[in-house]
Amino acid sequence: MKKLVLLFLSALLILSFTGCGKDEFGGKSIFGSESGNISNSGMAVRDTNSWIYYSSNEKIFEFSEDNPEKVQIADEHASYLNIVRDYLYYSGDRGNLCRIKTDGSDRKILSSEVSTLINVYNNLIFYTHGIGGNLYRIDTNGKNEKLLSKDEISDLSISDMNIFYTDFTAIYKMDFNGDNKVKIYEAAAPKILVKEDIVYFRNSSDNDKLYSIKTDGSELKKFFDYKVMQFNIDGEWIYFTNISDNKSLYKIKIDGSNYTKLRDGVVWNINIIDNWIYFNDSMGKLVRIKNDGSSETIL
């Protein structure tokens, strides 16, 4: 009888973890931001009510297209912005892992370590202790920090129940416990992005060309011969900075058609929200333009 009770309790524990708080979110998987934006420093994020939060001039602001007047909610720089319900999660002034309510109240440091590549999934936060640092997981309340990998992580992307990451030498995937690690592809890939069952990556082993591979390691593909510094994907479009053209901003369809230059000059940190692209210019200012290259505005 005791054995049956222990088995039953163990099963409950396993189920409670594998759900990763889904019951709390109505059975849905909630991502705090798009992995492509986090890979590009997460300078802006949108909530479910279409309010946009962004960091500029060492402050955090909010606005919406219906209410374009920006409102300051915090007096600090933020990067790797995520939002779940009414909390923002981000790397603050000193690189600490922080959270704050969207009205600017209840600010709390969740980890005093320098925290980067912050990805929030339901009630879990995945992050590294700096670029090239180890990978950790912590609850959104700041409890139960766990080391997942001692690899030197350069980028990561979260999908439903899997972590994909690169350590400068290869692309890997593993589960949320840090177990069942599998090497997908061996290459110097400083930037990755997972969309459904495809991993897109910058292949520095082939002069920074953009590649993709299935999450099971099959169907390796090179997209084009342009040298890519940073990239992001939205729907059927790839947005990227072209190293061969002074890191200017371009877009191209995933099928290789409609190669289009959107903006001259250096562009860093390509964040995409709806029909807008948010980025840093050569002076570090946060700028946004429409995805057709029009309506450029400094925020």
Question: What is the number of other CB atoms lying within 10 angstroms of the CB of residue 217?
Answer: 14
Euclidean distance between CA atoms 121 and 173, whole angstroms: 16
Report the 10 Å Cβ neighbour count for 159: 18
Q: Which position has the token pair 């997942």?
A: 148
Q: What does the alpha-carbon distance between residue 239 and residue 259 come to, in Å, rounded to a whole number?
A: 10
| Residues paired with 83 in a beta bridge | 88
CA nearest to 34, candidates 249, 175, 239, 184: 239
Please give the Cα distance from 255 to 238 (Å, whole number): 10
What pLDDT score was predicted for residue 205?
94
In the chain, domain spans = 23-153
The fold of 23-153 is: Neuraminidase (2.120.10)
In tens digits, what is the pLDDT along the chain, a chain of 299 residues? Answer: 444 433 443 443 333 444 454 545 555 679 999 999 999 999 999 998 899 999 999 999 999 988 889 999 999 999 999 999 999 999 998 999 999 999 999 999 999 999 999 999 999 999 999 888 999 999 999 999 999 999 999 999 998 789 999 998 999 999 999 999 999 999 999 999 999 899 999 999 999 999 999 999 999 999 989 999 999 999 999 999 999 999 999 999 999 899 999 999 999 999 999 999 999 999 999 999 999 999 999 99
What's the chain's length in residues?
Answer: 299
* HEC readout, 200-229: EEEEHHHCCEEEEEECCCCCCEECCCCCEE
Residue 93 is predicted with a pLDDT of 87
- Residue 198 sits at the vertex; the CA angle it makes with 18 and 190, to the nearest 5 degrees, is 95
Q: Is 169 helix (H, G, I), strand (E, B) or coil?
A: coil
pLDDT of residue 24: 56
Contact 84, 90 (CB under 8 A): no
Distance of CA 82 to the CA centre of its chain: 8
Distances (CA, A) of 116 to 79, 140, 233: 8, 15, 21
- The burial of 126, by beta-carbon neighbours within 10 Å (0-12 exposed, 13-18 middle, 19 or more buried), is given as buried
Structural contact between residues 173 and 197, judged by C-beta atoms closer than 8 angstroms? no
State how far the Cα of 96 lies from the Cα of 167, in Å rounded to an integer: 22
